[in-house]
Amino acid sequence: METIMINEDIQGVCIPAKSFPEGIQEAHDRLHTLIPFSEERRYFGLSRPERGVIVYKAAAEVLENETYNGPSCIIEKGEYRCITLLNYKNDLQRISQAFETLLSFPDIAPDGYCVEWYHHGEDMTCMVRLRTKEQ
């Protein structure tokens, strides 16, 4: 487990999943038909409970000078506690286990997302934002 700092908000475009967890892959597929692939772009999955149901969004970073119509999202700047999973597709259960561990700490931001940061290749980082002094 490690802690990283995201120094600036990350602007993104997002596609909500129709259900969780069944709709995750479909949301990512729809996102990738909308957003052209770029090695420079970061890709994410965002989830959190809203009104008793887990809401999931597939998201892609909006690069400088790009504009998209549709739902947008922001991954807030701040300090994040992280667990990186190598070859995550070999055992998808590790994702929920990583978030269970990250969510067990009392210093996470109460309004934050569980963030999946997909690296190019087969690795991903599971992240939760930590409370700020104001929270």
**In the chain, how many domains are there?**
1
pLDDT digits (tens, 9 = 90+) for 65-107: 888 877 899 999 999 999 999 999 899 899 999 999 999 999 9
Contact in structure between 57 and 46 (CB atoms under 8 Å): yes
Q: Is residue 79 one of the residues assigned to a domain? A: yes
Domain boundaries, position 15: 2-129
Cα–Cα distance, 134 to 101 (Å, whole number)? 24
pLDDT digits (tens, 9 = 90+) for 1-13: 999 999 999 999 9
What is the reported pLDDT for 100? 96
37: domain CATH number is 3.20.80.10
Contact in structure between 49 and 110 (CB atoms under 8 Å): no
Residue 84, CA distances (Å) to 96, 101, 123 in order? 13, 12, 7
pTM of the model: 0.92
What is the reported pLDDT for 68? 82
